[in-house]
Amino acid sequence: MTQDYGLSRFGLRPARVYRNLPTEVLVEHTLANQEGVLGMNGATMCKTGKFTGRSPKDKYFVEEPGSQQHINWGPVNQKISQATFDRLLSKVVDALTDKDLYVFDGFAGADETYQLPMRIVTQKAWHAHFAHNMFIRPTQDQLAAHSPQFTILNACDISATDYKELGLNSEVFIVFDLGRGLAIIGGTMYAGEMKKGIFSVLNYLLPLKGVLSMHCSANVGKAGDVALFFGLSGTGKTTLSADPNRALIGDDEHGWSDHGVFNFEGGCYAKCIQLSEEKEPDIWRAIRFGALLENVVYDPQTRAIDFDDKSITENTRVSYPLHHIDNALIPSRAGHPNTIIFLTCDAFGVLPPVSRLTPGQAMYHFLSGYTAKVAGTERGVTEPTATFSTCFGAPFLPLRPGVYANLLGEKMAKHGARAYLVNTGWTGGGYGVGKRMSLPATRAMITAILNGNIEKSDFRPDPYFGFEVPVQLDGVDAKLLDPSLTWQDPAAYRQTAEKLVGLFKQNFKTFAEAAEFEPFGPK
């Protein structure tokens, strides 16, 4: 009789349970099960099948008495009935019964007061390896006493073929029952669903305890000065928080409690499209035995990886434990932030490369969560599209945006944190006309913010957005600091700036509860 570690409470009867296997054994199982192969520097390489990214339209929350009044229902947080959840759960239980299962028991949250004891149950050894990399690994004593408060059952091999009858969007389902402390996944092998699933749970639980949960990276200087980097995918969170002079707290998910800032995770999940040792030395060096590469294209004979090849997906990823980063802070917690940096990739080319924000402007831009996406060049589309993702993390926020914004405002005021907006996007014109901001220039601006040199500059008000823009900074061409000077065509600059102002205003109309911050937006 196999020990089931309490899985029977969900009706599970596994053949065998492999619990918290070490990396070496997880890799052996992955290879033996033909789920992946060994590659660069001994890292494991796996494919995620049909889905190479998250399925946001297939994410649901059970409408149940304990949480329904708190959840911000809508297209991000879709309702599902308890009866439908139970039907899906029985499919999951049937799929996992009499199978060998992998269990990872660990924690989310490095602040022990607010730590979530959690569990991942999966059919795939490589999914257990992913969980082992990404969450906080327990000590032997912690494991012996472990009692999970939230469990994810991942039955990636089954689909909801009757999804239309169940009122779902597709055969894929990622469903959370907060009342039962349970989530189920079916129809997708994409490992990021487990990471972002636990993130969504923390984004529900922690703000209700007065802890701000954040989609940001964080680092700390030698003097204990903490910086947060908010930004949507592709704006530079991971790249810009990797700084040889500062310790990395974490690259993606953090909490801000009365004790300070803490990482939710025990690892990193870095993009690796166009990865090079020169551009991203920390990530490059982290790819070794224990790291897990997803959907990279490699030569089957030599196992050499072509990081530029996006034929499977542009969203190629690598997960690795934090200790693969030389200057990672472990345990990953530090004091209260001094500096908050909002990163945006403005493909319209009108936002200044660096601006100082007032507290009101910080609230406005946190709620707006602006960046711009550029369409694929292969279709000849040169028009960028503005993307507004509230609090820089809309897909993962179950509560109303005002809850997160108010917590940020209170904590900034209490601890005297200053906010800045850094544009890592275009200058001298929009996408297709101007050029991308150079990484060395952006790094010089970040350094000036972190060492306080930016405060020695003279500032001018931005004519459209009203923020304070430095007139000169060490290591940065002064002309670059004023977008109007980098455009060849002044009329086109004015027209584009006015267009972006209109998009901001239109988006902010959706925040009826935050109307008090509207005056801090563009003029």
The alpha carbon of residue 440 and the mean position of all alpha carbons in its chain are separated, in whole angstroms, by: 24
User: What single-letter DSSP state applies at residue 57?
Assistant: G
Higher local confidence (pLDDT), 514 or 272: 272
Does residue 294 share a domain with residue 346?
no
Active-site annotation holder among 119, 132, 215, 324: 215
The active-site residue out of 127, 137, 195, 317 is 317
Same domain, 21 and 130: yes
Q: Which residues pair with 309 in a beta bridge?
A: none
Q: State the average pLDDT over residues 297-315.
A: 95
Residue among 321, 322, 317 at smallest CA distance from 247: 322
What CATH number does the domain containing 471 carry?
A: 3.90.228.20
Residues 285 and 389 in one domain: no
- β-partners of residue 292 are 44, 319
Tell me the C-alpha distance between 74 and 401, whole Å: 13
Residue in 81, 159, 233, 438 annotated catalytic: 233
Residue 379 confidence (pLDDT): 40
State the pLDDT at residue 236.
Answer: 87
Same domain, 107 and 193: yes
- Say which of 59, 127, 237, 246 is annotated catalytic: 237
pLDDT score for 373 = 75
Distance (Å, rounded) from C-alpha 81 to C-alpha 87? 10
Shared-domain flag, residues 414 and 505: yes
| 170 assigned to some structural domain | yes
**Same domain (yes/no): 128, 179:** yes
- What whole-number distance in Å separates Cα of residue 358 and Cα of residue 409? 11
Cα separation, 4 vs 386, whole angstroms: 49
Determine, yes or no, domain membership for 16: yes
Provide the CB-side half-sphere exposure for 167 (13 A, CA). Answer: 10
Residue 253, in any domain of the structure: no
Rounded to the nearest integer, the mean pLDDT of the chain is 94
Is 120 domain-assigned?
Answer: yes
Q: What percent of the chain has pLDDT over 90?
A: 89
Q: What is the mean pLDDT of residues 322-335?
A: 96
- Measured from the Cβ of residue 115, the count of other Cβ atoms closer than 10 Å reads 17
Do 309 and 361 fall into the same domain? no
Confidence (pLDDT) at 374: 65
For 201-239, what is each residue's pLDDT tens digit? 999 999 999 999 999 999 999 999 999 999 987 788 888
How big is the chain by its Cα radius of gyration, in Å?
23
Q: How far apart are CA 133 and CA 152, in angstroms?
A: 16
Spot the catalytic one: 29, 48, 52, 54: 54
pLDDT greater than 50 at residue 128: yes
Residue 102 has pLDDT above 50, yes or no: yes
Q: What is the CATH number of the domain that holds 177?
A: 3.40.449.10
- Is residue 122 part of the annotated active site? The answer reads no
**Could you tell me if residue 434 is inside a domain?**
yes
Question: Looking at residue 2, what is its pLDDT?
Answer: 63
Q: Are strands 100-108 and 116-122 parallel, antiparallel or unpaired?
A: antiparallel
The whole-angstrom separation of Cα 124 and Cα 103 is 10
Domain membership flag for residue 124: yes
Report how far residue 461's alpha carbon sits from residue 343's, in angstroms, rounded to the nearest whole number.
19
Cβ-contact 117, 146 below 8 angstroms: yes
> How far is residue 176 CA from its own chain's centroid?
19
Q: Hey, what are 450's tokens?
A: 């972190």
Q: Is 276 a catalytic residue?
A: no
Per-residue pLDDT tens over the stretch 433-450 = 899 999 899 999 999 999
- Cβ neighbours of 167 (radius 10 Å): 12
Active site residue 317: yes
Q: Looking at 67, 235, 238, 427, which residue is catalytic?
A: 238
pLDDT at 383: 67
Q: What is the pLDDT of residue 319?
A: 98
* Strand runs labelled E in 13-115: 16-19, 36-38, 44-46, 59-62, 78-80, 100-108
Of 165, 190, 209, the position where a domain reaches its end is: 209
What pLDDT does residue 343 have? Answer: 96
Q: Is 273 inside a domain boundary?
A: yes
Here the CATH number for the domain that contains residue 306 is 2.170.8.10
The answer on pLDDT for 1 being more than 60 is: no
Residues 6+ apart with CB under 8 A from 348: 372, 384, 386, 425, 426, 430, 431, 496, 497, 499, 500
SS (H, E, C) 196-232: HHHHHHHHHHCHHHCCEEEEEEEEECCCCCEEEEECC
Whether residues 354 and 304 share a domain: the answer is no
**Averaged pLDDT for residues 446-463:** 96
Strand order of the β-sheet with 116-122 is 16-19, 100-108, 116-122, 150-155, 182-186, 173-177, 59-62, 78-80
Q: CA-CA distance, 389 to 216, in Å (whole number)?
A: 13
Query: Is 196 in the active site?
Result: yes
Give me the residues paired with residue 238 across strands. Answer: none
> Last residue of some domain: 186, 209, 232?
209
Task: Give the pLDDT confidence of 366-406 residue by residue, as tens digits.
Answer: 999 999 876 543 344 456 788 999 999 999 999 999 999 99
Q: Which stretch of DSSP H or E encloses residue 24? A: helix 23-32
- Catalytic-role residue among 91, 127, 196, 333: 196
Residue 274 lies in a domain: yes
Which tokens sit at 241? 């928080």
Nearest to 413 by CA among 212, 241, 269, 182: 212
Structure tokens at 112: 């022990």
**CA 255: distance to chain centroid?**
13
Domain containing residue 308: 268-324
54: annotated active-site residue: yes
Name the active-site residue from 252, 282, 346, 462: 252
Question: What is the DSSP-derived secondary structure letter of residue 437?
Answer: P
If one counts the domains in the chain, the total is 3
336 touches 356 (CB < 8 A):
no
DSSP three-state, residue 516: helix
**Across residues 99-108, what is the average pLDDT?**
98
Q: At residue 275, does pLDDT exceed 50?
A: yes
Let me know if 238 is a catalytic residue. Answer: yes
Shared-domain flag, residues 394 and 434 = yes
Residues 274 and 402 in one domain: no
292-294 sheet: strands from edge to edge = 36-38, 44-46, 292-294, 317-321, 267-271
Indicate if the alpha-carbon torsion angle 64, 65, 67, 73 is positive or negative.
positive
Residue 197 neighbours by CB under 8 Å, 6+ apart: 152, 174, 176, 183, 185
The predicted pLDDT at position 130 comes to: 99
- The CA angle 2-177-135, to the nearest 5 degrees, is 60
Are residues 356 and 498 both part of a single domain? Answer: yes
H runs (alpha helix) in 416-511: 439-450, 483-486, 490-508
Residue-wise pLDDT tens digits, 146-157? 999 999 999 999
Q: Do residues 297 and 306 lie in contact, with contact meaning Cβ atoms separated by under 8 Å?
A: yes
For helices 359-368 and 490-508, the axis angle rounded to 10 degrees is 80
Amino acid type, 65: P
347 and 305 in a common domain: no
Q: Examine the fold and report which residue of 180, 209, 238 is the final residue of a domain before the chain moves on.
A: 209
